Structure 1
Amino acid sequence: MSVNEVSVLLCGGPLEGVPEPERLVRVSDPRQTFKLFKGNRYEHFLPSAESRVVSGQEVPVFLWSHRTFVAE
């Protein structure tokens, strides 16, 4: 884990219904799109102006945007 990384909360898309603490990820730049690799695809999440308190910590919210598939 890098010193400059921050926790963000992923919301929407395939993660609907997953408890918030399980949707926390570390990112190096909270202004950039985050790509989550899931099997044969990437789920793309974009930063938003929203934040939430998760486990006592205020974190930025990233919203699901779209998915792309890995080329074979």
Structure 2
Amino acid sequence: MLQPVLALLRGGPSDIPEIWEIPSGGTDEQVKIPRGNGYEHFEFAREYARIGDELMPVYRWCYRTFIAE
């Protein structure tokens, strides 16, 4: 079973933290982050960034969807 990893999020709304824990091994093509009445979608940028001692996958914001009612 894969352990959660920290990922670096680029772009998107300013109130989303830049570092986010994702449930997979860090190489999913997309992650979606709940925010208000929807989700912010980020795509794996196929790059990694070193933050302190951590090497984190970089995800870039691509679009927002809303939760269906």
User: Would the TM-score normalized by the shorter structure come out above 0.5?
Assistant: yes
Does the residue aligned with 2:68 lie in a helix, a strand or coil? coil
- Name the count of aligned residue pairs: 68
Is the 8 Å Cα contact of residues 44 and 67 (structure 1) preserved in structure 2? Answer: yes
User: Which residue in 1 is equivalent to 2:23?
Assistant: 27
Question: In percent, how many aligned pairs have the same letter?
Answer: 37
Higher helix proportion, which one? 1
Question: Structure 1 stretches of 5 or more lacking a match?
Answer: none
Q: Which 4+ residue blocks in structure 1 deviate beyond 3 angstroms?
A: none
Post-superposition offset of 1:5: 2.4
Measure, in 2, the Cα distance between the counterparts of 1:12 and 1:52.
15
Question: Structure 2 stretches of 5 or more lacking a match?
Answer: none
Structure 1 counterpart of 2:38, from 36, 41, 48: 41
Q: Write out per-residue CA displacement over residues 3-62 of structure 1, whole angstroms, 9 at most, x where no aligned residue.
A: 53222111101138x664xx2322314223100000101000000122111232111100
Is the 8 Å Cα contact of residues 4 and 21 (structure 2) preserved in structure 1? Answer: no
Root-mean-square deviation (CA), in Å?
Answer: 2.2
